[in-house]
Amino acid sequence: MKTGARILLECLRLEGVRHVFGYPGGAALPLYDALYDEKQIEHILVRHEQGAAHMADGYARATGGVGVCLATSGPGATNLVTGLATAYMDSIPVVAITGQVRTHAIGKDAFQEADITGITIPITKHNFLVKRVEEIPETISKAFHIARSGRPGPVLVDVPLDVSLAKMAWDPSMYPDKADIPTYKPTTRGHEVQIRRAAAALDEAQCPVLYVGGGAVLSGAEAEVRELAERTNTLVTTSLMGKGIIDEHHPLSIGMLGMHGTAYANHAVHNCDLLFAIGARFDDRVTGKVDRFAPRARVVHIDVDPAEIGKVRVPEVPIVGDIKTVLAAMLPHVKPKPWSAWNDQIMEWKSEFPLVYPSDGRLYAEYVIEMMGQATNWEAIMTTDVGQHQMWAAQYYKCRRPHQWITSGGLGTMGFGLPAAIGAQVSSPGTRVLCLSGDGSFQMCTQELMTATVYGLPIIVAIVNNRSLGMVRQWQELFYQERYSHVDLQASPDFVKLTEAYGGFGLRAETPEEFRNALSKALEVRDRPVVIDCVVPTEENVYPMIPAGQSVDEMRIRENLEELKVTVDTEGEEWSFDREERVLEQFVALRKGGSSAERGS
């Protein structure tokens, strides 16, 4: 006979779970008791349950697998809410397990009772309240299946105390091979006729653009997307969530589109005659005013969620299915095409409206990002918080592969960056993990620095310290007549001392040179988190910008663009030490050292 709690852990093992991020409490005591002698699953003790949810989320995004978090009933469970909503908006597979009061006490305002299944209906793909110990294996199997299949998303499993204490005879051979949910059968294979029509549309188009989103990343379709782009010589723009689906150094990549996308990507989309949308959901940050978005284009739209197709824009060629499966079926029908005059036109836009920033001796966020990229050969995982720094990172951090870019797009959750970096580093001890944060965002989950220290995680956080809630300040400047209402963050802790108080390594940089030195010191650290407080000008804005609800015609660009184009040669910036070698050394050392997380516990 085994307790429900033990059975639950065995089920997690069977789902391949190796790490759980959590925080204990009364209703979760049996689960924590079972964890006490659990050998195969490592539990990471966080400092706030929101951190646990974001870590599970970051873990999932870095690996393409499912992240797991654990909390007690009541306040523990409600602290997960922001994290679950974040994962839900970006379709990230997370399984959250919460303790609940005893079944007979449910609905009676028992101590630490919260109706967490009720609360999370709108922010989970599905949730379960387990009523009897016999239901545990089937529920866990369904939860993982629902979380990772179709359009992925978070699933919550609420386990009352008496259910995790109850015993039954069980062994792993009794675990369901496959979750069978008759009412849930996502369509993965696209319609053959539509697939051929899509291939034909691409062949016929004079001015096509691929608009690739998070769905392609979730589907693991990078090879298919690249093949499609290369064979037809079609330029690729991605949403914020699609970054890395094609190497952003690739000549066919034109960066992100949308509100803060590159001018050339937005001009390309505005003027294209075929918009080929792959796992992207026409978010309002992308389309602006919908009827002025890609006004001349026919639209091909591939998405696994039928509700996304036609939600914003009715496509000429709708395809419901999994990106990888659909593109694999499409490629045999796709004919090669040469580099086109249309592509030349886009390249002209690119040289007319490049991404540039001042080099006047002061430190700029854009520089910080470029240096972090160069120093790590653009191979590090980059997590971000939310605000201006996030948009600069989207513009300047050129990802080489999917799962390398981890950001909260749909919900835009400040405080996501640090815990997401921790989750990513736990999942991938041999990979360098960077986090770009803001002085506002960093203060939303600072406590997780302690977690990073305890588990010896060498993540490098650069705080873009503009002493302001920059993104809000920018909107107040541009759209609220410079009435700067409550965006001043002059009063902040000393981030260097704060980091040291948490046992990390704190550094400060006020000039480009100081930053380079700080970064090279940071890259030496292997056993604890590093925070670099980067002091940047307050008044910098993110450009280009298409104001909300408007179109590319209203796009604002840097006023002194022409000047900057002449004075700045961003590509030519020399990295101060022999970076390739140094970075390689780092990676090898990290791999040899094994999982620092394991050593830390």
Partner 1 sequence: MAASLTRRAPQTHVITALVGNHPGVLARVAGLFARRGYNIESLTVSVTEDPDVSRMTIVVAGDQLVLEQITKQLHKLIEVIRVADYVDAPTVERELGLIKVRAEPKDRGEIMQIVEVFRGRIIDMSDRTFVIEVTGSVEKLDKMAELLSSYGIREMVRTGVIAMARGSRTA
Ligand X SMILES: Cc1cc2nc3c(=O)[nH]c(=O)nc-3n(C[C@H](O)[C@H](O)[C@H](O)COP(=O)(O)OP(=O)(O)OC[C@H]3O[C@@H](n4cnc5c(N)ncnc54)[C@H](O)[C@@H]3O)c2cc1C
Using the rule CB under 6 A, is 440 a contact of ligand TPP? yes
Q: Select from 142, 389, 528, 558 the one that contacts ligand TPP (CB under 6 A).
A: 389
Residue sitting closest to ligand X (CB): 214
182 binds, among partner 1, ligand X, ligand TPP, none (CB under 5 to 8 A by kind): partner 1
Size of the site for ligand X (CB under 6 A): 37
The answer to whether the beta carbons of residues 384 and 407 sit under 8 Å apart is yes
* Other beta carbons less than 10 A from residue 216's beta carbon: 28
CB atoms within 10 A of CB 52: 32
- DSSP strand E in 131-171: where? 155-160, 167-168
> For residues 398-427, which are near ligand TPP according to CB under 6 A?
412-415
CA–CA distances in Å: residue 328 to residues 149, 165, 188, 253, 349:
18, 48, 12, 21, 32
C-beta contacts of 133-139 below 8 A and 24+ residues apart: 133/4, 133/7, 133/163, 133/164, 133/166, 133/167, 133/168, 134/168, 136/4, 136/7, 136/8, 136/11, 136/163, 137/7, 137/11, 137/170, 137/174, 137/175, 137/176, 138/176, 138/179
- Binders of ligand TPP among 143-162, rule CB under 6 A? none
Which CB atom, from 149 or from 407, has the smaller least distance to partner 1? 149
Q: Is 518 in the site for ligand TPP (CB under 6 A)?
A: no
Q: Is 387 in the site for ligand TPP (CB under 6 A)?
A: yes
Q: Provide the mask over 294-333, with x wherever binding to ligand X is found by CB under 6 A and - wherever it is not.
A: ---------xxx--x-------------xx----------
Residues within window 303-322 making contact with partner 1, judged by CB under 8 A: 305-307, 310-311
Q: Angle at Cα 494 formed by Cα 493 and Cα 495, nearest 5°?
A: 95
The answer to whether 278 touches 215, Cβ cutoff 8 Å, is yes
* Interface of this chain with partner 1, residues 180 to 219, rule: CB under 8 A: 181-184
DSSP assignment, residue 553? Answer: G
Structure tokens at 281: 């959901």
Q: C-beta of 13: minimal distance to ligand X in Å?
A: 26
85-124 mask for ligand X (x: CB under 6 A)? -----xx---------------------------------
Residue 439 within binding range of ligand TPP, rule CB under 6 A? yes
599 touching partner 1, by CB under 8 A: no
Does residue 214 bind ligand X (CB under 6 A)? yes
Q: How far is the CB of 18 from ligand X (least distance, A)?
A: 23
Spatial separation of the C-alpha atoms in residues 84 and 78, rounded to whole Å: 10
DSSP character at residue 488: B
CA angle 300, 303, 305 (to 5 degrees): 140
Q: Which does 260 bind (CB under 5 to 8 A by kind): ligand TPP, partner 1, ligand X, none?
A: ligand X
**Residues in 452-471 at the binding interface with ligand TPP, rule: CB under 6 A:** 464, 466, 468-471
C-beta of residue 210 within 8 angstroms of C-beta of residue 334: no
Give min distance, CB of 31 to partner 1, in A: 23
Describe the strand order of the beta sheet including 405-406 as a list of residue ranges. Answer: 405-406, 381-384, 433-438, 460-465, 530-535, 505-509
Residue 218 is a binding residue for ligand X (CB under 6 A)? yes
Stretch that binds ligand TPP, among 31-39, 184-192, 432-440, 569-577 (CB under 6 A): 432-440
Q: Report yes or no: 235 and 250 within 8 Å, Cβ to Cβ.
A: no
Q: Please give the size of the binding site for partner 1, defined by CB under 8 A.
A: 17
Residues in a beta bridge with 155 = 95, 126
SS3 content of the chain, % helix, strand, coil (to 5): 45, 15, 40
Q: Among ligand X, ligand TPP, partner 1, none, what does residue 121 contact (CB within 5–8 Å per kind)?
A: partner 1
* DSSP H/E element including 11: helix 4-14
State yes or no: residue 441 binds ligand TPP (CB under 6 A).
yes
CA-closest candidate to residue 266, choices 239, 245, 243: 239
**Nearest CB to ligand TPP, comparing residues 175 and 484:** 484
Window 111 to 140, contacts with partner 1 (CB under 8 A): 117-118, 121-122, 125-126, 129
Rank residues 99 and 215 by Cβ distance to ligand X and give the closer one. Answer: 215
Cβ-contact 163, 132 below 8 angstroms: yes
3-state secondary structure of 557: coil
Interface contacts to partner 1, rule CB under 8 A: 117-118, 121-122, 125-126, 129, 146, 181-184, 305-307, 310-311
Interface contacts to ligand X, rule CB under 6 A: 90-91, 151, 213-215, 218-219, 239-242, 256-261, 279-281, 283, 285-286, 303-305, 308, 322-323, 386, 390-391, 409-410, 412, 471
Interface contacts to ligand TPP, rule CB under 6 A: 385-389, 412-415, 438-441, 464, 466, 468-472
